Amino acid sequence: MSATLVIREILKDTVSILGVELPKKVQIEPPREKKFGDIATNIAMLLASTLKDSPRNIAKKIKDLILERHSTHIEKIDIAGPGFINFFLSKSFWQSEVLKILNKGEDYGRSDLGMGKKVLVEYVSANPTGPLHVGHGRGAAVGDSLARILKFCGYEVTTEYYINDAGRQITLLGKSIYIRYKQLFGFEDEICDDCYKGEYIIDIANKIKQELGDALLKKEPNDAIQFCSQFGQDLILEQIKQDLKNFRVLHENWFSEKSLVAENFVDKTIELLKQKGLVYEKEGALWFSSSKFGDDKDRVLKKSSGDLTYFASDIAYHKDKLDRGFDLLIDIWGADHHGYIPRMKAAICALGRDKQDLQVILIQLVNLLRGGKQVSMSTRSGEFVTLEEVLNEVGPDAARFIFLSRKSDSHLDFDLELAKQRTMENPVYYVQYAHARICSVFAKAKERHIDISMKPNEVINYLTLDLEIDILKKLNEFQDIVLTCARILSPHMLTFYLMELAGMFHQYYNKCPVLGAEQKELIFARCYLLMAIRQVIAQGLYLLGVNAPERM
């Protein structure tokens, strides 16, 4: 249990004696200043109005009660400023963290926050009309890491990729390929304005030519286009799957939009909304009363042409997700889709659920640089940097770590040159290096025939330096950080945490010899501390989907 949770339990018990509950907004956290103790709380200030007493008086009462009843881990309690209660925990409490980490191993930091709640994380879901680019990579990194974190926090997580294989864009893909195909045979058809113009279209056309020769020229254009659509889409999807695999991103489900259409599920969903009185006809089209649920205006489900809108199939898709029994839907979208959130939430409400049951995480643009100079991207113009290229250049570890080093809804500068550099500007190496360095210490120990012949609980009380205690506190914090990441659905705090922990280790490494310590008990104690650090770094990196190398 993290120190903050320990104190939380103690406070909960204590205020119950005063006849009140723990206030919802209570803060229990490590204060910025060391002199304010290990854990500080503002509880007395919050209870002042309820208990009709001054914060400092309340603080005094709480302090006395705690000292009477829970003195085990607590060395000292201070009351400071307007009524903060500052807890100083005993060294032995922090030292025992090593035991907890080593005993729990990979389960250290695991929690039951989610209580088995079923969550569907849907991410990437790029149209199979072109290769994945860097922006998709960012969404992939966030989605995959978030899924790992939520699983670790006791959610039952399923990951899914939604394939938009039924719409106009797919037809357009077929058309684009068909035109390129004809060009290969000397036809002078011009590529249309809204066509896909990337090189890969020509590659696909070439592939068709290789396999079928001129057979397609003899077909009706519409049939030929349909063939091209399917052929191109299959090929692109295969490439997308390969890219994601290389990025260590594995979706459990691949959900096809076409399957919804085939089962008439979209029409059935519209029918359901109609029964609820939320669908009406206007100007030859079918409208959904999304404005009844907070959207700016109503939205079209079926165009006057008779075609379904993308939104209609998206509602059906989300209904399908809910029907599959998920308690919480997490969608990861490009930030340019933010205007789409209110209508999707409206749909969730219309389906009888709370709007909180859909959480949308927006992924801002990746600003791709090469040596400080901007690289432009657009799938349409055909000039873009693919995820594949980035992975070939910088590798999955650096790419993932950089993608996860910012809040997902802020712009991210990604400099390909920097990502390859092995300096502090590229922090993935900093963290991985800490892990490798620890491994190297143990390799050296083996070389020198240093045998750790005492158990952790016999030596951990040798960890008495300020820096050692600080590291133990930092390790303890891991549990809180993981919980926060799960709560705010963002892995980036874990990335920062790992840099801090790695920094403390590097500092320690430079300052305190481990194998060269003067007593064998101290050598062993420091070895155990290093094992604990290594465990937490490895686990943290795992949650980010980054490797923890033993040698660098």
Partner RNA sequence: GCGCCCGUAGCUCAGUAGGAUAGAGCAUUGGACUUCUAAUCCAACGGUCGGGGGUUCGAAUCCUCCCGGGCGCGCCA
Contacts to RNA from residues 47-106, by CB under 7 A: 80-82, 84, 86
Least distance from C-beta 445 to RNA, angstroms? 8
> Residues for the chain: how many in total?
552
Contact pattern from residue 449 through residue 468 relative to RNA, giving x for each residue in contact according to CB under 7 A and a dash for the rest = --------------------
Least distance from C-beta 297 to RNA, angstroms? 8
How far apart are the C-alpha atoms of 542 and 552, rounded to whole Å?
A: 17
Q: Which residues in 212-251 contact RNA (CB under 7 A)?
A: none
Least distance from C-beta 379 to RNA, angstroms? 11
Least distance from C-beta 140 to RNA, angstroms? 18
How far apart are the C-alpha atoms of 477 and 403, rounded to whole Å?
A: 23
Q: Which residues in 337-366 contact RNA (CB under 7 A)?
A: 337-340, 365
The stretch among 131-139, 228-236, 259-267, 418-426 that binds RNA (CB under 7 A) is 418-426
How far CA 184 is from CA of 156, 162, 206, 212, 422, in Å, comes to: 51, 33, 8, 13, 45
Instruction: For residue 141, list its beta bridge partners.
Output: none
The stretch among 12-20, 347-355, 380-388, 493-501 that binds RNA (CB under 7 A) is 493-501
Q: Which of 214, 336, 451, 458 binds RNA (CB under 7 A)?
A: 336
Least distance from C-beta 206 to RNA, angstroms? 26
Least distance from C-beta 218 to RNA, angstroms? 30
Q: Residue 463: left if φ>0, alpha if ψ -120 to 50, beta else—which one? A: beta
How far CA 421 is from CA of 131, 384, 425, in Å, comes to: 26, 22, 8
Instruction: For residue 300, list its beta bridge partners.
Output: 287
Least distance from C-beta 512 to RNA, angstroms? 5
How far apart are the C-alpha atoms of 210 and 216, rounded to whole Å?
A: 12
Least distance from C-beta 273 to RNA, angstroms? 16
Q: Does 175 sit near RNA (CB under 7 A)?
A: no
Q: Which residues of 81-120 are buried (b: 16+ CB within 10 A; e: fewer)?
A: eebbbbbebeeebbbbbbeebbeeeeebbebeebeeeebb
Q: How many residues bind RNA (CB under 7 A)?
A: 89
Q: Does 311 sit near RNA (CB under 7 A)?
A: yes
Q: Does 309 sit near RNA (CB under 7 A)?
A: yes
Q: Does 514 sit near RNA (CB under 7 A)?
A: yes
Contact yes or no for 380/198 (Cβ under 8 A): no
How far CA 69 is from CA of 11, 63, 328, in Å, comes to: 11, 10, 40
Q: Which of 272, 300, 375, 452 binds RNA (CB under 7 A)?
A: 300
Instruction: For residue 360, list its beta bridge partners.
Output: 331
The stretch among 108-116, 231-239, 305-313, 381-389 that binds RNA (CB under 7 A) is 305-313
Contact yes or no for 286/270 (Cβ under 8 A): yes
Q: Which of 246, 359, 440, 547 binds RNA (CB under 7 A)?
A: 440
Q: Does 168 sit near RNA (CB under 7 A)?
A: yes
How far apart are the C-alpha atoms of 390 and 427, rounded to whole Å?
A: 17
Mode of pairing for the β-strands spanning 84-89 and 39-41: antiparallel
Nearer to RNA, 203 or 296 (CB): 296
Least distance from C-beta 324 to RNA, angstroms? 22
Q: Does 490 sit near RNA (CB under 7 A)?
A: yes
